Amino acid sequence: MTPVRFAHLIESDGPGGAERMLASVAAELQATGSQTLVIAPARGEGWLARELSGTGVQLELFHLDRPFSPPFARWLADVFRRHRITLAHSHEFTMAVYGAWAARTAGIPHVITMHGSRYYVGRLQRRIAMRLAVQVSTATVAVSGSLRRHLTRDLWLRPARVVTIPNGVRLPLPPPPAAGPSPLRGELGLQSTDQLVVAIGNLYPVKGHSVLLEALALLAPRFPRLHVAIAGRGELELPLQRRAAELQLSDRFHLLGLRSDVANVLAGADLFALPSLSEGVPLALLEAMLTARPVVASAVGEVPTVLDDGRAGALVPPSDPPALAAALAELLATPGRAQALSAAARARASALYSFDVMMDAYRGVYAQALRNHPYDARAEGIREAQRQTFPEDRPPGKRALVR
């Protein structure tokens, strides 16, 4: 039997949530007998190529220099034919629209996953193009219930047109004992009596790391041995360092840069903080839960659902340093409460947000798409709608966006 040949399309190439999910799904499909191709930007960071090295997944790189490019859609269709692609799976707005166009041309089913970006919302023409892409695609997936509601409302869709498949992460090894050594703590020169709050996410305003720094300033007098470490990179690195110096916290506020050893970073933490101003289903939160770290998180997006409305982690309002500080202080001062939350978090993430749960859901979507992919005359409207859709400016910072 000829194996199914998948193509995954994405316009960005950094270690963000969408890219990490794509890489993990592509590698899993390849490892379980399917042929998999990833189509990614040639001017990206090369992160996907490095991540997929040794997996057998093939890579095609593209240049998209103009917002509206019929030649690019034709090139995509030719790639599908050349690689004998059976099903195309596009991620986020730009590839959703181009992927739908090219899959229609090549006569193959098309699946869209929206990870959180609502770039299409700003202009009516983008909404029309995105709506058409959804209508001519076999399935559209949102990674959270809140994003699904946005999509159906923004694009005037019936709710049945969009399904929800939350992100999932692989179950890690059991966490080390709380008293055991941690390479991260050694790296930071921390003693056994020091307390460490860890956050993971690149240094952009939406991640709320400045809120966490202000919360540290409020906690510093009461917890003189408390440190905060953030794994990520980005435009706020220098502003955060300057603010930490102003607060006289430079020796207790650590920017770790981009880290590939997430398990090590989490293993060294007493608490995990997610101070984001906006989120879908962040992979870092799921990883913290699966490694049984007590969580304090902003009640934004799908986070309250993931944390079972506070039963699997403490929830605080976004952009509220005093509230964040109070929640962190409670868990730092009451280890029993922290342990109960971490156990509940691990159990919930293992049951609902594991990689296997996510893959089973996608396999179901793929199976149905391969059985029936109803294209109709409305697909012909994509080309004209696209001419009105893309402004001359590109989505701001898309290649650097990390969730």
Q: Between 267 and 374, name the one with better pLDDT.
A: 267
User: Would you list the DSSP string of 54-71?
Assistant: TS--EEEEE---SSS-HH
CA dist., res. 126 & res. 143, Å (int): 20
pLDDT for residue 389 is more than 80: no
Q: What CATH class has 183-352? A: alpha beta
pLDDT for residue 395 is more than 50: no
pLDDT in the model for residue 370: 93
Report angle CA 17, 301, 133 to the nearest 5 degrees.
65
Q: Minimum mean pLDDT among 206-215, 338-347, 354-363, 376-385: which range? A: 376-385
pLDDT in the model for residue 181: 60
Mean pLDDT for the chain overall: 89
pLDDT for residue 401 is more than 60: no
pLDDT in the model for residue 393: 40
Average pLDDT (6-21) is 93
Q: Minimum mean pLDDT among 4-8, 160-164, 180-184, 265-269: which range? A: 180-184
What share of the chain has pLDDT > 70, as a percent? Answer: 89
Using the Cα atoms of residue 114, residue 117, residue 121 and residue 126 in order, give the sign of their dihedral.
Answer: negative
CATH entry, 5-168+355-400, from 3.40.190.170, 3.100.10.10, 3.20.20.150, 3.40.50.2000: 3.40.50.2000
Q: 222-244 as b/e, with b when 16 or more CB fall inside 10 Å? A: ebeebbbbbbbbbebbeebeebb
pLDDT tens, residue by residue, 111-140:
999 998 777 787 888 999 999 999 999 999
pLDDT in the model for residue 3: 79
Report how far Cα 74 is from the mean position of its chain's Cα atoms. Answer: 29
Q: Specify which residues 197 forms β-bridges with.
A: 228, 271
pTM to 2 decimals? Answer: 0.84
Residues of the chain within CATH 3.40.50.2000 domain(s) are: 5-168+355-400, 183-352
CA dist., res. 95 & res. 40, Å (int): 10
